Structure 1
Amino acid sequence: MNPRRWLAGAALLLAVGAFAPVPPAAAPARADDTGSTAMTVPGVKVDGGYEDFTGLSVTVDQTKDLVNQAVVVTWTGGTPTPRNRPLGVDFLQVMQCYGDPHAPDDPDGLKFRETCQFGTKLDTPVMPFEVTAAAAANANSRELHLDAPGYPPKDPRETLPEDARMVPFRPVSCPVGATSCERPRTPDGSQAQPFPVIADPQTGAEREAYPDEVLSGYFNKSVTNEYPYALTAANGTGRISFEVQNSALAPDLGCGDPYTDATGATRPSRPCWLVIVPRGHHHPYTGEDVSATDSPQGSPLIVPNWQYRMVVPLEFEPVTGYCASDQQERLTAGTELAAEAAAAWRPALCAAASGPSVSYSPIGDDEAARQLLSTSPNAPGLIYSSDPVATTADDPPVVHAPVTLSGLVIALNIDVNLENVPLPQEVAELRGTALSELKLTPRLVAKLLTQSYRRDVPGGGGQALAKNYDSIKQDPEFLGLNPLFKDWDRRAGVTLNGLMAPNGSSVAARALWQWVLADPAAKEWLGGTPDKDEASGKEMVVNPAFKPLFTGETPDYFPKADRSCYEETFAGETYQLCSQELRPYTGGFGRGAAQTLRGDTGAFGQSLNINVTPPRFDRLPREQPGFRFTMAVTDSASAARYGLFTAQLCKAAKGTDGAWTASDCRGATDGAISAAAGTAAPSQVAGVSVIDPAKAWATAGAYPLSLLTYAVADRTDPADARRDYAKLLRHAAGQGQRRGVGRGMLPDGYVPLPQALRERTKAAAALLEVDLPAPSASASSDGSGATEPPPAAPPAPSVPAPGAVPSVGATPSPGGTAPSPQPPARQASNATPGSPVGALRYVLVVIFATGLVGGVIGPVLRRFGTRNRPAGGAE
């Protein structure tokens, strides 16, 4: 059969089958629906101890199938952490450890504590206190000795030498009994194991290392996941997102690495432990309630504090070994919107019979398309992109397959930090809790991303920004939408240090700007119309450095157009701090989410440190628990991975009284993202539909920053490579759309594709495996134009049953013309799991089917016609 006729016949079958009614997809499963791994542990009262934590209950939301991610730790029944005195009583300390907490020869866990990542002396939260009391000394360290009344030189239960100065850290590579280790157990500071002598980083003079410096060869402030101060709210509850780390981030813990157990058997993944040490308000040796004037002193690792530990097992996915070394690796690359899904699917693909090993590299959509169409033998044969790949006659034919549906979000890690004044009870009880709801408008987002608040510009922006607000917490529009901030701590430094965003171009960045520019107020403001507030006399204008960027094509990146610098002079030398140091980029969506979790913007402070040689502007430390105010542009899957809440995107109106109110707010929920998918329209590449943020913003209930991501594969790759990529597509359309935390499943933060789109992906897999006809022979030397006969056509697809979705009936386009309380983000929705979206499922079927007959098959016919044409023949 002539290939053109075969495909034309397939087109007829598509025309019949593509519009068959499709029932609504089954309610998408939450991670808990597939078997919850949450665990709750109770607090204890220890014989001979003075604290009573029996009312405390701590829950960890996920304890199995862990990767580098966050787990949400919540608790009830705690004593509220006082906010009117220095921090020292009634808080929790959380850390990750690798040892055996139940070893028979270690009943008190004193060997186990040596395996915990803790003690880098992260900053202690500074309370706006009224009561004079002593803070908890060394609570953020591993130090042993306490020069305080009532504390003995050595606890009688302590097993370390009497002159030991800290609890040593033992890396996993140096087990107890090892005689020689490449990375040994740290010294304990005793006379037998003294601390090393180092050069002082500031003066250069030799001195003995401090305990946290001794640890720095294993972990330090920049990489540790320890949580030394988890504060309890006024209602006795608390919540933190704790970053668990496998051996890729914490190699000296070894979590997830293969190991040999006590029986000598080799196991694929080393288990680890989450340890919670509650701190109370009694002197550990006298029993006195010291909350009025003092604090229980010391590290959580000293015996009287360690005895109250609560231990939760953590089971990690194997870091290595799920893909055999002799498996052929297939390269993929593309938008970071697919990163979490690609990482989750890879182990399942490797484990399947004759399954491929599929690698993934995060790069921008445009660069991914360029690599896919290149002739380099090292180019990926499949990419992920939210922008259809347009091809020309000179490019290889490609096939598009929808694989993920997710959203761009603004993730937040904000602790409710209210003024230290009398407040209504319902407001006061929020003090210290994690802020779960924040509302933003397109104009507020534009103000943040254009560095138009004075605090976001080195030196304050000068005269050009003289009438602008210092920060978003002063903006009446923000306060109107988020009235809790009217009672916020008024200190200047207790605010947002910029909205973090990644570097590089992406469809996701362009979508955000399309959404912003679809809002009349935001567009006018970016064009130069000031935001006037008569009450304050402010006339906030766009930072002049950004104004020219929005007069032409929509940007597909987050610009840092302000090049101003802040200068200080010392000893005749001038030192500069410029815009990208004050408000640096993140390394990507995942990195931005991780930084938000840690309260770490990576920014440098505008204060010259003259105590070092040469003087410098220092990097700001992580924000302190209880006082964090961090936000980042990221994707919904990364926000879910790191347990972050996400902002609602709102339309707002200003009343006659001058007050702002939100009239229409939308979060990145399953229903809102599905509603946005229902607005998708044909793109410039025939047969491939995309979501227009402006159209979604104009559609009730649709989340405007929803993005449909496609896998795009090269149909000229070798047959074995195409078969492997087809396996990836089939997995993505099958188990890969089942939400859960196990291997091969769809991570939280994605919305499962409607069935119609899954069928399209299966059809794309089938098409990818079909060999293209060989190019026609050149014209004969006598100029007759004779050619070789065309190769035999592939067998025609079977006719689908009436009313069914055809298995190849929604063939995607082969091309056209022209990179861890539960937050909504963690589940991708705060609505009822599995809420039906009604007619939206049917709308999707029609939208994605309408372009199939002419739009999908047409380019295929053109591709076959071009390949069968004699050399030199005209179009």
Structure 2
Amino acid sequence: MRAYLLQRDPRPLLVSLIALLLAAGVMVLSPSAQAVDQSPARAAKPDFSQTKTLTRTFENADGTTYSFPSREVTVTADTTQDVRGRQRILISWTGAQPSGGRASNPYGENGLQQEYPVVIMQCRGIDDPSLPAAKQLSPSTCWTASVAQRSQISRTGAEASWTRDLLADPADRERVSGITPFPSADVCPTADIAPFFTRLTPFVAAKGTVFPACDAQHMPPEAAVGAAFPPNELAAFTDTDGRGSVQFEVRSDVENESLGCNDKVACSIVVIPIMGLSCAAPSVPATPADDACRKGGRFLPGSSNFANDGVDQAVSPALWWSASNWANRFSIPLTFGFPPDTCDVLDSRAPTGFYGSELLAQAALQWSPAYCLRKDRFKFQLNQMSDDAGWNLMEAGEGAAAEVSSEHELRGSDPVGYAPTAVTGFSIGYVIDRPDNQGEYTDLRMNARLVAKLMSQSYLGSDLGRGHPGMAGNPLGIMTDPEFVKLNPGLTQNAQEAGAALLSLSNSSDVIYQLTDWMAQDKDALAFLGGKPDPWGMVVNPAYRDIAIPTAEWPLLDSYVPQTENTCRQDNPAVYFSQLAAPVTTLRKIAEALLDAWPNVQTRCEFDLSTQLYKLGRIDRQSFGARFMMGVVSLGDVDRYGLRSAALEAASGSYVEPDDASLAAAVGLAKQQDRYGPFVLDQADVRRSKAAYPGTMVVYTAAKLRNLDQTSADKVAQFIRVSTTEGQRPGTGNGDLPGGFLPIRDSGVTAKLYASAQQVAAAIAAQKAAPSAPPSQGGVDNGGSTGGVTSPGGALPGEDVPSADPSSAVPSVPAVVAPVEMPQTQAIGSRTAGGLVPSLLLIGLLGIAIAGGLRFFVQPPRAPRGTA
């Protein structure tokens, strides 16, 4: 090799190396190179983190003390600022005492029969001694949904361990305690019955009402049986390593008026790792209460309490309010965002309505106050409806703009611009519990054929479905489908009706179109819908065979009514598979159904005593530990409500979850076919990618480029400019971009969206008039349209009408835009322009390097020295 190199002229190689070094320098200095990662991950640092050393201590009869080994516990919360009702916050902890006797359901009073859990609840007030007493939190401002969680009533001495609490005030060691004056027998007849012990932990409502919590009648109205919302407080399980985490759902005054948390009333999440009561010196002889206080638990760490057996009270969650446990609390202060009606309350101006996509809902919730609370901006209002309905209102001139996620048919002669406004999407949300009390399943994978099976109502649901012609041998639900089991092993195969359907939308939506387009690009899904059995013999519901996809509206085609001896069903004959599917009108309803594990299946039969008639309705919420439900949800709702999203199959065998990287990969595949038009994400391209998330969607602000009144045009242009600059700043505050959205930036993969948005905003603001028609040959009026949805003269609706001057059919971006009063936003630079010259230089240098290298290696050997 050395002889080979020595025989060649080194000058071409030197030129090549110099060119490569210069190219490297260009890459370092190039602005585009500095902005490769256009979608930085959300900050991993939690909003709250605190560590405490917790110790349980016993006082001996001689006055000495004995302390159990201390535990250093750390609690974190991922977000605490600008939270909203029903939002879930990730609470995590390490170092806690491992739990024993795990309950199947940790929520509300169902979680009481555990040992050493971590109690988590929402309380009004802040742990700040400098504040007035009314603004400080206390056990009386912490919410529980039942009496049993906050009061101990008429207990024997063996059940009164709190009376021996080392840290308790003397008054709390009395036979009756907790509230002064203590309720009379007229108010609480079972509370003061000697010789039994009672401890009441009253609840003080936001308006000052005191509920003594001595029975169900003396609890706040939100704690009633059958309340609108299930309990959010829980006694969470700590694993044998001392770790645990939960998604805690916060409630605003909209969901819980008695608790009263809002943007003006401060609240906290209180986390109490149960260590066990610290106990005062025992009496001589020791009393049953002394013995009860010193107990250490019946269950081994990590064990379950399926039988709901009794536990040792001193290490149970029932005494979270005791002095020993309360002293160990972690208090996580919360701030609440503005309520949804803020703009209506604080801004008397008439709103400017934008109509359409619900995918933008969570962003609009944060964006709206950033408009209505500033006089230099208009009062923005998103009116959620189907994409088609929003588009039609915009085209008819009844709305300033539409929010859509795909190209829609243009029925009038006025051109429409699509400004990319947000990158988000949909997911298959789910709540599924592992069997044997192992917690939630977190790794669901779904392919297009499985979704097609659900959408086509090809699972039987229950024995009622077995009589359906042409599919009697199909599984009852997806959980018993061998294809699903192969993808998601280890889950229960106990069939539920909810496992026979995917909760979806009943109306037209771009989301359904994108979902079914993904199905249409999968040969296995298409073959199944076409009548080909899957490898395990399952066949499509004959009512859906050869259904045309993609489609924006999924129909209910089945007509099977079961023949049964059930009196209720005989009195209420109905299409069974439509009752299983039971689609709803909004994505939010689906998200809330998943949040509550409450399928929309309409097969519950009950007898109405008032009418003496049977009726069918929605089935009950699923039991914790046996939940199995799936639905189509928006990524914005996934983030707010802490839902789980299935990984969807992109390229064969590659399952992709929604996150910034997978959304960015999908955006990279999207192409814009026409200036001012939308970007098309071809699912055929997604099927070839191993990184792109199939549920990615871009939301566009669509508005007329002609014949829109100038005031509305200026507002729409302002909205596009603000929403694509400061509106893309990730955060939870007013004007910020919430989770579930990929920020649009002026660089990286979303730069094309940003550039297009600015062009469309300028064109909307300009409202360039239609070009004048050329003089007619015979002086006949050509019946030109004035806009709206009127068809051009001589053309039928839906026909393509060529423009008299194609070059002027769509306005170009003007050099000077009509002035619009605009707030100051973040400085924006064009990285594309800034990187053009360096890019060209880089290409040239690389060309020189390659040429030099080729010349060096292909040149003929030099003649040896001294030869002719």
Normalising by structure 2, we get a TM-score of: 0.69
The answer to whether the Cα contact below 8 Å between 2:387 and 2:509 also exists between their aligned partners in 1 is yes
Is the CA contact (8 Å cut-off) linking 1:75 and 1:238 kept in structure 2? Answer: yes
Give identity over the alignment, percent.
Answer: 23
Task: Please give the secondary structure, in 1, of the residue aligned with 2:507.
Answer: coil
| Cα deviations by residue, 1:499-537 (Å, 9 ceiling, x for unpaired) | 32232111111111111121111111111111243xxxx
Q: 1:424 corresponds to which residue? A: none
In structure 2, the residue matched to 1:28 is 39
In structure 2, distance between residues paired with 1:215 and 1:468: 46
Residues 1:635 and 2:646 aligned together: no
User: What is residue 264 of structure 1 aligned with on the other side?
Assistant: none
Corresponding residue to 1:595 among 571, 593, 596: 593
Aligned to 1:503: 506
Q: What is the alpha-carbon distance in structure 2 between the residues aligned to residue 795 and residue 532 of structure 1?
A: 55
1:384-423 equivalence runs, <5 A:
384-392=403-411, 394-418=412-436
- The separation in 1 between residues aligned to 2:724 and 2:276, in whole angstroms, is 55
One-letter identity of the residue aligned with 2:454: L
Aligned residue runs from structure 1 range 72-471, under 5 A:
72-78=90-96, 79-82=98-101, 87-102=113-128, 112-119=138-145, 141-145=149-153, 147=155, 150-152=158-160, 156-157=171-172, 158-160=177-179, 161=182, 164=188, 167-172=201-206, 174-175=207-208, 184-186=209-211, 188-189=213-214, 215-216=221-222, 221-224=227-230, 226-233=232-239, 235-257=241-263, 269-279=264-274, 285-292=292-299, 294-295=310-311, 296=313, 299=318, 302-303=321-322, 308-319=328-339, 321=342, 324-352=346-374, 354-375=376-397, 379-392=398-411, 394-418=412-436, 432-455=438-461, 458-460=464-466, 462=468, 464-471=470-477
User: For the Cα contact (< 8 Å) 2:125–2:136, is it kept in 1?
Assistant: no
Q: 1:527/1:390 Cα in 2 relative to 1: closer, same or farther (>3 Å)?
A: closer
CA positional deviation for 1:332: 1.0
Q: What is the number of residues matched between the two proteins? A: 692
Letter of the aligned partner of 2:702 in structure 1? V
Change (3 A) 1:185 1:151: same
Q: Which residue of 2 aligns with 1:711?
A: 701
Q: In the aligned structure 2, how far is the partner of 1:691 from the partner of 1:383?
A: 20
Structure 1 position 493, deviation (Å) = 5.3
Matched with 2:732 is: 741
Q: Deviations over 1:198-244 (max 9, x none)?
A: xxxxxxxxxxx6567x6348895432451334333454433322222
Checking the alignment, whether the CA contact within 8 Å between 2:419 and 2:720 is kept in structure 1 is: yes
Q: CA RMSD in A?
A: 4.5
SS at structure 2 position matched to 1:561: coil
Q: Does 1:765 align with 2:761?
A: yes
C-alpha separation in 2, matches of 1:80 and 1:576: 49
Distance in 2 separating the partners of 1:572 and 1:409: 35
Give the whole-Å Cα distance in 2 for the aligned partners of 1:722 and 1:766: 10
Using the alignment, how far apart are the partners of 2:723 and 2:755 within structure 1? Answer: 11
State the shift of 1:361 in Å.
1.6
Q: Structure 1 stretch 246-255 or stretch 163-172: which is displaced more?
A: 163-172
User: What is the CA distance between 1:604 and its match in structure 2?
Assistant: 4.9
Paired amino acid for 1:88:
Q
**TM-fit CA distance, 1:279:** 4.6
Q: Which residue of 1 aligns with 2:77?
A: 60
CA 1:387/1:456 → structure 2, altered by over 3 Å: closer, same or farther? farther
Sort the Cα spacing of 1:770 and 1:299 in 2 relative to 1 into closer, same or farther, 3 A: same
Q: SS state of the match for residue 381, structure 2? A: strand
Cα distance in 1 for partners of 2:581, 2:463 equals 8
Contact 1:41 1:57 in 2 (8 A): yes
Distance 1:584 1:351 in 2: 40
Question: Does the 8 A contact of 1:98 with 1:255 survive in 2?
Answer: yes
Q: Where does 1:604-683 land on structure 2 (aligned, <5 Å)?
A: 604=602, 608=606, 614-616=613-615, 619-650=618-649, 663-682=653-672
Structure-1 separation of matches of 2:619 and 2:567: 21
Cα 1:803–1:671 shift into 2, 3 Å = closer
Amino acid at match of 1:574: D
Distance 1:84 1:666 in 2: 33
CA distance in 2: counterparts of 1:218 and 1:307, whole angstroms? 30
TM-score (norm 1): 0.69
Query: Radius of gyration: which is bigger?
Result: 2
Specify the SS of the correspondent of 2:638.
helix
Partners of 1:779 and 1:490 in 2: CA distance: 75
The structural deviation recorded for 1:710 is 0.8
Matched, 1:542 2:540: yes
Flag structure 1 segments of 5+ consecutive residues without an equivalent: 1-19, 121-137, 176-183, 190-194, 196-208, 258-268, 419-430, 534-538, 653-661, 810-837, 843-875
C-alpha deviation, 1:366, in angstroms: 0.8
What is the match of residue 571 of structure 2? 574
Q: 1:217 to 1:95 in 2, by over 3 A?
A: closer
In structure 2, relative to structure 1, the CA distance for the partners of 1:399 and 1:81 (3 Å cut) is farther
1:518-562 deviation digits (Å, cap 9, x = unpaired): 1111111111111243xxxxx2112223325x1x35332344434
Contact 1:409–1:633 under 8 Å retained in 2: yes
Residue 734 of structure 1 and its aligned partner are, at CA, apart by: 0.8
Once the two structures are superposed, the pairs formed by residues 556-575 of structure 1 within 5 Å of their partners are 556-564=552-560, 569=566, 574-575=571-572
Cα distance in 2 between the residues matched to 1:309 and 1:616: 48
Contact 1:388 1:685 in 2 (8 A): no
Q: CA deviation at 1:150?
A: 1.2
Matched to 2:599, the amino acid is T
Counterpart code for 1:736: G
Q: Deviations over 1:48-105 (max 9, x none)?
A: 6999884443321101121232211222334144459995334333322223555689
User: Gapped runs of 5+ residues in structure 2?
Assistant: 1-29, 60-66, 105-110, 164-170, 192-199, 278-288, 300-308, 745-749, 785-807, 818-827, 844-868
What do the CA deviations read for 1:389-441 (whole angstroms, capped 9, x no partner)? 4424x4444322011112221122333324xxxxxxxxxxxx63433212111
Residue 495 to residue 772, structure 1, CA distance change in 2 (3 Å): closer
Aligned equivalent of 1:861: none
Q: Deviations over 1:818-845 (max 9, x none)?
A: xxxxxxxxxxxxxxxxxxxx9xxx9xxx
SS of 1:723's partner is helix
* AA partner of residue 531 (structure 1): D
Q: What is the distance in 1 between the residues matched to 2:631 and 2:443?
A: 15
CA deviation string 1:289-340 (max 9, x = no partner): 3424631367466536656543211111232656742345211121112222
Matching residue of 1:866: none
The higher-RCO structure (CA 8 Å, 6+ apart) is 1
- Any conservation in 2 of the 1:746–1:752 contact (CA below 8 Å)? yes
Which residue is 1:829 aligned to?
A: none
Number of the residue aligned with 1:693? 683
Residues 412, 630 of structure 1: 8 Å contact kept: yes
- Helix, strand or coil at the partner of 2:403: strand
Match of 1:263 in 2: none
Distance 1:802 1:640 in 2: 30
Amino acid at match of 2:351: E
Deviation track 1:569-615 (CA, whole Å, cap 9, x = no partner) reads 45997355744444433452233223323322243565656999655
